[in-house]
Each structure stands twice: as C-alpha cells, then as structure tokens.
A and B are shown apart, each in its own frame.
Chain A
Amino acid sequence: GDSVTQMEGPVTLSEEAFLTINCTYTATGYPSLFWYVQYPGEGLQLLLKATKADDKGSNKGFEATYRKETTSFHLEKGSVQVSDSAVYFCALISGGGADGLTFGKGTHLIIQP
C-alpha cells in the first residue's frame, strides 16, 4: 500500500535559519503530493501541493519539488520565522483522487528567536 516517511522531530532551529524537512513516499501509479501544516490549536491547512513529476509547489516562502526518480517531496524554506513553528505533514493521494490522504507522521518544527 501507499506510505509516506518523513523525518521525525522535533526540529529546532533559530530564526532566519534554512529549513529542510525530508519526505519520501511509496505509492502505486502517479500520486499527487502535499504538505499540510497544523498550527497549535488549529486544524490542518494545505501549505502546498504538486500533482506531477518535476512540479514545484510553493507558498509563504516554502517550496517542495516532486521528484519521481527519488520518490521525494522535501520541504524547504530559506529563512524561517518564529511564526513557522508548527507540525508539518507530508501526504499523498494516489488513484483517482476520490480517496483519503495518506499521511506521514508529522514533523514538529520549533523556531527560536
């Protein structure tokens, strides 16, 4: 079956540091890939997505590129802020898109001032 593996946290960085959260996946066919973010006390929000190989999703300074050859979708940001502290989930949908998401375990990111 489908699965998503992402680096476990917590990841602690200083403000303005470079961020990478690794995500790799196993799926049948050609999945669509997502990063969701969960701020404290709130529901999951879609951060960015990519629906085919070599697509780059971007939002709020975050980027991730769909790499089919390495089955990866690593999340990056050049300069993190304290407000980026949250839990980040990598996820995928395979098949026709009518199915639920398969999630990674989540990475807790802590940004210190």
Chain B
Amino acid sequence: GAVVSQHPSRVICKSGTSVKIECRSLDFQATTMFWYRQFPKQSLMLMATSNEGSKATYEQGVEKDKFLINHASLTLSTLTVTSAHPEDSSFYICSASGQGAVRYEQYFGPGTRLTVT
C-alpha cells in the first residue's frame, strides 16, 4: 500500500521556539493532506486540510497563525508550530490521499510526538 512518512518522530523544544514537522508521500502523489492532533487517550482531531498549491482549510478553533501548513508539492506538506508552548505538546499525525488512491482512502504517517518544555 501507499506509504506516508513523517519527520521527526519525536521532538523536544523550548517554550517560545518554532518546530517544523514534515509529512511525505513516498510512492504516490498526494493531492490532499490532512493534519490531525491526538491527545492521550483521546481520538484524533482534524486540525486542517491542505490541497497542493492552495491555502490550508483550518477546522474551527485551530489557530492558523500558530499552526502554519504548507503543501507546496504533491509529495510534501509541512506543519510549523510557531512560538510553541507546553499546551501544544501532543501527538501530531498527517494523512494523505491522492491521484490513483481509492476514493476516501487516507494513508497515515506514523506521527510526531512534540514535547514543549
């Protein structure tokens, strides 16, 4: 099946700094990428949807100036957490769907554990 990678898998940063997380589709072209956030023992919450070459669409309650999403190519999307604070600590997961993919099917990355100290 299709493979999606995320980098880094874990990151620890100091409060006030910015962190960039990469999501790559390795063997298919991802026309749409999704970013989710997962709190401990909670479900995945959709943060934003991005289509290649367009501005991301953010879910209600998600600050677009804090969580910058770029989807500049068909194989790469990035999520930048700006001026991170401890409450931003979470597990961030991306998924991708695209050309040739089965309708509605999303392929998930392994996730990135962010810890803000």
Interface, chain A (partner B; CB < 8 A):
4, 32, 34, 36, 41-46, 49, 51, 89, 93, 97-106
Residues on A with C-beta less than 8 A from B49 are: 98-100
User: When A and B form their complex, what is the total count of cross-chain residue pairs whose Cβ atoms lie within 8 Å?
Assistant: 56
Is the Cβ of B106 less than 8 Å from the Cβ of A101?
A: yes
Residues on A with C-beta less than 8 A from B43 are: 4, 89, 103-106
New A-B contacts (14) at CB < 8 Å, excluding given A4-B43, A103-B44, A105-B43: A32-B104, A43-B6, A43-B111, A44-B95, A45-B1, A45-B108, A46-B105, A49-B104, A99-B49, A100-B36, A100-B59, A101-B106, A103-B43, A106-B43
**5 closest cross-chain pairs (CB), A and B:** A100-B46, A44-B108, A43-B110, A103-B43, A43-B108
The listed residue (A42, A98, A106) touching B110 by CB distance below 8 A is A42
Is the Cβ of B36 less than 8 Å from the Cβ of A97?
A: no
Is the Cβ of B110 less than 8 Å from the Cβ of A101?
A: no
Residues on B with C-beta less than 8 A from A49 are: 104-105
The listed residue (A46, A102, A105) touching B42 by CB distance below 8 A is A105
A110 to chain B minimum Cβ distance, whole angstroms, is 15
Give Cα A42 to B4, complex, Å.
11
Most chain A CB atoms below 10 A, which of B41, B43, B106: B43
Give Cα A4 to B46, complex, Å.
13
Knowing A32-B104, A43-B110, say if A98 contacts B44 (CB, 8 Å). Answer: no
Interface, chain B (partner A; CB < 8 A):
1, 4, 6, 32, 34, 36, 41-46, 49, 59, 93, 95, 103-106, 108-111
Which residue of chain A lies nearest to B94 when distances are taken between CB atoms in the complex? Answer: A43
B45 to chain A minimum Cβ distance, whole angstroms, is 8
The listed residue (A41, A45, A93, A103) touching B104 by CB distance below 8 A is A93
Residues on A with C-beta less than 8 A from B108 are: 36, 43-45
The listed residue (B4, B104, B106) touching A51 by CB distance below 8 A is B104
Knowing A89-B44, A100-B36, A104-B43, say if A44 contacts B93 (CB, 8 Å). Answer: yes
